Amino acid sequence: MIRVQSPSSSAALLLFAVTSGRLTGTLPRPGRRACCAGMTENANPFREIDLLSLPRPALKALFQAAGQPAFRAEQLFRWLHVRLERDWTRMTDLPAGLRAQLAEARTLAVLTATLERVSALDASQKIVLLTDAGHAIETVIMPMDSGHVTQCLSSQVGCKMACDFCATARLPVRQDLTAGQIVEQVAYACRLGFALGLRRGGVAGGEDGPLSARPHNLVFMGMGEPLDNLQAVSDALDILCDAKGFDFSPRRITVSTSGLAKNVAKLAAAHPNVNLAWSLTATTDEVRDRLMPVNKGVPIRRMVDVLLALPPSPHRKITFEYALLKGVNDTDDDALRLAEMARELNAHVNAIPFNAWPGADYQRPERLVIQRFVDVARRAGASITLRESKGQDIGAACGQLAGEKAA
């Protein structure tokens, strides 16, 4: 777990106190009573703490500070992140008094599904979920040709990066998701798959439960910039990769960034085996400045150097995402420069023809131009795949996620 920002929520504050001791004097005294009846507001040490967002070590530290044995935290973690239970009354091996205290502290319902759409083209499925503040985010479950399922996760409501070709950037609302809200998207996909009988197996400790229907791969390529919400994304990765939680291999997870260089190294230090995708999308600073304002702060060369300077990891893969925009970034020279950069970083390139959305100023290149671009890059030594985004007919493709509202 990393602590990269000053803690803002009360959960983070309490944790900060637990881990640093700085605020120890302000810690609420752990209640010793077995039941919450008659308790004053301050007596509940779990009050307002977002338990679903806490990685296991933090949950244990919290329980310890609350005068509870560590194994209770382990039990709760298993209910939350293996059995995916959100109803306190069903957590039957926790003492009734503790359950009442936890139930009184805060709800576990952090996202509500409002809409599900299934693509007639490729059976991918988009789920629109509402945060407690009523904002819509989207996650997409995609059956791949390999037979595996990849889930695309959102990390924020809206996005600050203002990429000119992306629908998410046009949303007026911006809000970071919590780690719990990120994890809950995966929990939702697991429950859905389990209900449909889609057991995929291979999960330690989850064979009979919803984790047996876990997606194979997770990509942080939905709404938002994951590295602009680093703490929550990092905590979510801790929970998702915990062998006593969702038990994902980090090698099956990819975090995609527009290029927030300062946080790339922090993420890589905390999660060395998680794959990184960089949305390169242009091969000159002149064009990239126009398409992606982040480039003005972190030009292409600087980001390449940051990626080159990452401590080596035997497992981390780096990919470039390259949205192909007609007449903007689709020339032979672009393909050659792209190939050179990909070779320098030993990166694989995913070329993604632009996906249209209402009001977009861009188009996808003609089919022959797309094929030529890929061929030129490949002949110049790039490992490159042409990726047709899934779910284009349901507004679920790359760049189309805009928090659709249920009718």
Secondary structure (H, E, C), 120-182: CCCCCEEEEEEECCCCEEEEEEEECCCCCEEEECCCEECCCCCCCCCHHHHCCCCEECCHHHH
Query: Angle CA(167)–CA(341)–CA(336) in degrees, nearest 5?
Result: 90
Closer residue to ligand SAH in complex, CB, 110/166 = 166
Q: Which one of the spans 97-105, 176-184, 246-254, 349-357 is the region binding ligand SAH (CB under 6 A)?
A: 349-357
Of 258, 283, 295, 329, which lies in the binding site for ligand SAH, with binding defined by CB under 6 A? 258
Of 181, 185, 257, 392, which lies in the binding site for ligand SAH, with binding defined by CB under 6 A? 257
Closer residue to ligand SAH in complex, CB, 59/223 = 223
Least CB distance from residue 396 to ligand SAH, whole Å?
12
> Is residue 184 within the footprint of ligand SAH (CB under 6 A)?
no
- Looking from the CA of 336 toward its CB, the CA atoms found within 13 Å total 3
Least CB distance from residue 270 to ligand SAH, whole Å?
18
Phi, psi dihedrals of residue 82, rounded to the nearest 5°:
-120, -50
Least CB distance from residue 381 to ligand SAH, whole Å?
22
User: Torsion-angle region of residue 48: left (phi > 0), alpha (psi -120 to 50) or beta?
Assistant: left
Closer residue to ligand SAH in complex, CB, 150/279 = 279
Residues pairing with 253 in the sheet: 218
Phi, psi dihedrals of residue 27, rounded to the nearest 5°:
-65, 135
> What sign does the dihedral 207-212-216-221 (CA atoms) show?
negative
Q: Which of 152, 159, 190, 398 is catalytic?
A: 398
User: Torsion-angle region of residue 179: left (phi > 0), alpha (psi -120 to 50) or beta?
Assistant: alpha
Closer residue to ligand SAH in complex, CB, 70/162 = 162
> Is residue 354 within the footprint of ligand SAH (CB under 6 A)?
yes
Closer residue to ligand SAH in complex, CB, 12/161 = 161
Residues pairing with 321 in the sheet: 279, 350
Closer residue to ligand SAH in complex, CB, 200/387 = 387
Q: Which of 36, 85, 138, 321 is catalytic?
A: 138
Least CB distance from residue 3 to ligand SAH, whole Å?
23
Closer residue to ligand SAH in complex, CB, 53/258 = 258
Total residues binding ligand SAH (CB under 6 A): 17
Span between the terminal Cα atoms of the chain, in Å: 40
> What sign does the dihedral 369-375-379-380 (CA atoms) show?
positive
The closest residue (CB) to ligand SAH is 399
Residue ranges of the alpha helices (H) in 242-394? Answer: 261-270, 285-291, 294-297, 300-308, 332-345, 367-379
Residues 274-313 that bind ligand SAH (CB under 6 A): 279, 281
> What sign does the dihedral 219-225-229-231 (CA atoms) show?
positive
398 labelled catalytic: yes
Least CB distance from residue 121 to ligand SAH, whole Å?
16
> Is residue 165 within the footprint of ligand SAH (CB under 6 A)?
yes
Is-contact 175 229, C-beta < 8 A?
no
Phi, psi dihedrals of residue 261, rounded to the nearest 5°:
-55, -40
Binding mask 208-227 for ligand SAH (x = CB under 6 A): -------------x---x--
90 three-state secondary structure: helix
> Is residue 352 within the footprint of ligand SAH (CB under 6 A)?
yes
Residues 314-333 that bind ligand SAH (CB under 6 A): 321, 323
104 labelled catalytic: no
Q: Which one of the spans 30-38, 72-80, 118-126, 254-262 is the region binding ligand SAH (CB under 6 A)?
A: 254-262
Q: Any idea which residues carry the catalytic annotation?
A: 138, 398
Binding site for ligand SAH (CB under 6 A): 161, 165-166, 221, 225, 256-258, 279, 281, 321, 323, 352, 354-355, 398-399
